[in-house]
């Protein structure tokens, strides 16, 4: 009999299959040393695939996986497997997928929708269960998996039990007490981040810090966020930042321990007792941002502040600065709005004062000048009438005296005096009239300068609405209405198309 450790040759396989009366085929050894029987129907070996004198059997991937599946499934049907659930997730189809683990190995398990509906409990990560089902190979990925029929809970998993025990121990020692929590600095200048340098966590933190506080410096300490070295490297990062507190002037003001979500196995490094005590002993405040909002680790309970996500941690440490900037922005907006309101109000008052007071002063000045012209005209007429009356009286008196004296000589004398007086009168009248006309012209010039018509001559216009009311603001005219503009010469009618 051939040794199990010696690979079978093509000749020996052919002889064995020939004695069994089967179709020529061959068995190939797996890593476990098992030999396969003949291929399944439809998968017979293509003679062209074997060159003359060749001892190699060439399989297609699908044929090989199907043959392995056919060989394994009958020998591992209706079996019971005990282990701890990890990475449990439900698909939209209703199927449940999880990994069954123990201390040495892991096995993928699928619980189809029909069997999942019959369960009396919900599978969760960390739960120890007894699974009954059949071993199969998923050809799409070439993956060994257990198709579960039923699940029976076996109590909490080892990782969960260790978590609860350590939590109880540290809580009894007071490491979770609120009075031991250090307050975070309101305006940190530098923050230290312990996380993986290649993950999306550090990019999210840098993006948020740059957006909310561009002056904030971020120091990264690269560390493994899962696996055996996780706790040791995170402890080294804590010790590094605390050492910089004394050794360097550009030390961090607080520390953020951040990583994304994962299973309880992935987060096991943060349930380490040494790491918890190092966080508690840190002189710098520590923010724990491990996993998602539903994930809790021992580091979350010991840290001075727990953030539900790494992004939330970045927002929390920049909250005060961001609030100050928001408050300044609000005050700036309110000041700008108040200034615009005051300016608009002042412009409205100026417009009202300009229109009303100017027209009032123009009307008052025009009335006063008109009154002055009337007064001067009356005084001129009165003076002229009085002067003529006096001359008439004097002429009558002269005639009376002439009648009583030498007429010829008196006539000559009187005529001479009369001519002289007439010249004086004409000169005085002309002088008085000229002065009156000059004053009248000057008054008329000043009156014309203050007239609204003179303002219109300079290019201004008076705009009236459909009711004949003077328009002082664009908002008083509705779109589509007709307005009338009075110019220096004539009037114009227009329709309002737009208001600004």
What is the CATH code of the structural domain delimited by 77-156?
2.40.50.140
- The tens digit of pLDDT for each residue in 121-147 reads 788 888 888 999 999 988 888 889 999
Tens of pLDDT, residues 457-480: 777 888 888 888 888 888 888 888
Tokens 């040759």 locate to 9
- Look at residue 22 in the predicted model and tell me its pLDDT: 39
Tell me the DSSP string of 203-219: HHHHHHHHHH-TT-EEE
* Per-residue confidence band for 96, with pLDDT thresholds at 50, 70 and 90: very high
Q: Higher pLDDT residue, 490 or 292? A: 490
What distance lies between CA 251 and its chain's CA centroid? Answer: 31
With a cut of 70, say whether residue 53 has pLDDT above it.
no
Q: What is the pLDDT of residue 155?
A: 58
Report the C-alpha gap between 63 and 46 in whole angstroms. 12
What are the residues whose beta carbons fall under 8 Å from the beta carbon of 459, sequence distance 6 or more? none
CA-to-CA distance for 195 and 33, rounded, in angstroms?
Answer: 44
* Residue of 487, 497, 433 lying closest to 459 (CA atoms): 487
Residue 95: per-residue pLDDT? 92
Sheet with 462-464: list strands edge to edge.
462-464, 482-486, 491-495
Q: How far apart are CA 397 and CA 417, in angstroms?
A: 14
Residue with more model confidence, 283 or 49: 283
Q: Using an 8 Å Cβ cutoff, are 287 and 316 in contact?
A: yes
Cα(12)–Cα(324) distance, integer angstroms: 84
The highest-level CATH class for domain 176-317 is alpha beta
Mean pLDDT computed over 187-195: 88
pLDDT value for 7: 45
Question: What is the per-residue pLDDT for 135?
Answer: 92
Q: Which pTM was predicted? A: 0.41
Residues above pLDDT 70, as percent of the chain = 84
Domains of the chain, by residue range, sit at: 10-68, 77-156, 176-317, 324-450, 462-495
Task: Please tell me which residue, 49 or 388, carries the higher pLDDT value.
Answer: 388
Is the pLDDT at 259 greater than 50, yes or no? yes
User: Residues 424-463: pLDDT tens digits?
Assistant: 889 998 889 889 999 998 888 888 777 777 777 777 888 8
């Amino acid at each position: 009999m051939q040794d199990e450790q010696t690979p079978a040759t093509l000749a020996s396989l052919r002889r064995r299959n020939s004695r069994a009366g089967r179709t020529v085929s061959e068995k190939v050894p797996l890593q476990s040393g098992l030999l396969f029987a003949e291929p399944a129907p439809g998968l017979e070996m293509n003679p062209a695939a074997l060159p003359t004198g060749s001892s190699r059997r060439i399989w297609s991937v699908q044929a090989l996986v199907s043959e392995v599946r056919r060989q394994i499934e009958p020998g591992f049907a209706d079996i019971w497997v005990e282990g701890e659930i990890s990475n449990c997730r439900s698909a939209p189809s209703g199927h449940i997928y999880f990994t069954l683990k123990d201390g040495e190995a892991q096995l993928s398990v699928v619980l189809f929708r029909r069997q999942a509906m019959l369960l009396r409990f919900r599978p969760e990560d960390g739960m120890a269960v007894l699974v009954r089902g059949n071993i199969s190979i998923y050809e799409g990925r070439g993956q060994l998996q257990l198709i579960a029929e039923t699940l029976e809970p076996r109590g909490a998993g080892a990782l969960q039990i260790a978590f609860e025990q350590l939590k109880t121990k540290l809580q009894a020692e007071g490491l979770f007490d609120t009075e031991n929590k250090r307050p975070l600095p309101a305006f940190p200048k530098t923050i230290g981040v312990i996380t993986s340098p290649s993950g999306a966590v550090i990019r999210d933190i840098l993006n948020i810090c740059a957006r909310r506080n561009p002056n904030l410096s971020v120091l990264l300490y690269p560390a493994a966020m899962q696996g055996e070295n996780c706790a040791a490297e995170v402890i080294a990062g804590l010790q590094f930042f605390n050492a910089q507190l004394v050794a360097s002037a550009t030390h961090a003001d607080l520390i953020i321990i951040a990583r994304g979500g994962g299973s309880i196995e992935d987060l096991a490094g943060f349930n380490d007792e040494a790491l918890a005590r190092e966080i508690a002993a840190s002189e710098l405040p520590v923010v724990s941002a491990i996993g998602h909002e539903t994930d809790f680790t021992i580091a979350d309970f010991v840290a001075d502040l727990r953030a539900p996500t790494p992004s939330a941690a970045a927002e929390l440490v920049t909250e005060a600065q961001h609030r100050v900037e928001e408050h300044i922005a609000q005050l700036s907006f309110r000041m700008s709005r108040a200034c615009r309101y005051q300016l608009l109000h002042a412009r409205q008052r100026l417009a009202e004062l300009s229109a009303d007071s100017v027209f009032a002063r123009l009307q008052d000045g025009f009335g006063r000048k008109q009154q002055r012209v009337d007064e001067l005209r009356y005084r001129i007429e009165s003076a002229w009438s009085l002067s003529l009356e006096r001359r008439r009286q004097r002429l009558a008196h002269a005639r009376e005296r002439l009648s009583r004296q030498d007429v010829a000589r008196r006539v000559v004398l009187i005529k001479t005096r009369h001519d002289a007086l007439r010249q004086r009168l004409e000169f005085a009248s002309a002088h008085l009239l000229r002065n009156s006309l000059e004053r009248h012209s000057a008054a008329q010039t000043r009156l014309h300068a203050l007239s609204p018509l003179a303002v219109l001559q300079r290019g201004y216009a008076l705009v009236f609405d459909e009711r004949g009311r003077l328009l002082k603001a664009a908002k008083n005219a509705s779109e589509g209405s007709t307005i009338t503009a009075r110019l220096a010469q004539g009037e114009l009618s227009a329709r309002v198309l737009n208001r600004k």
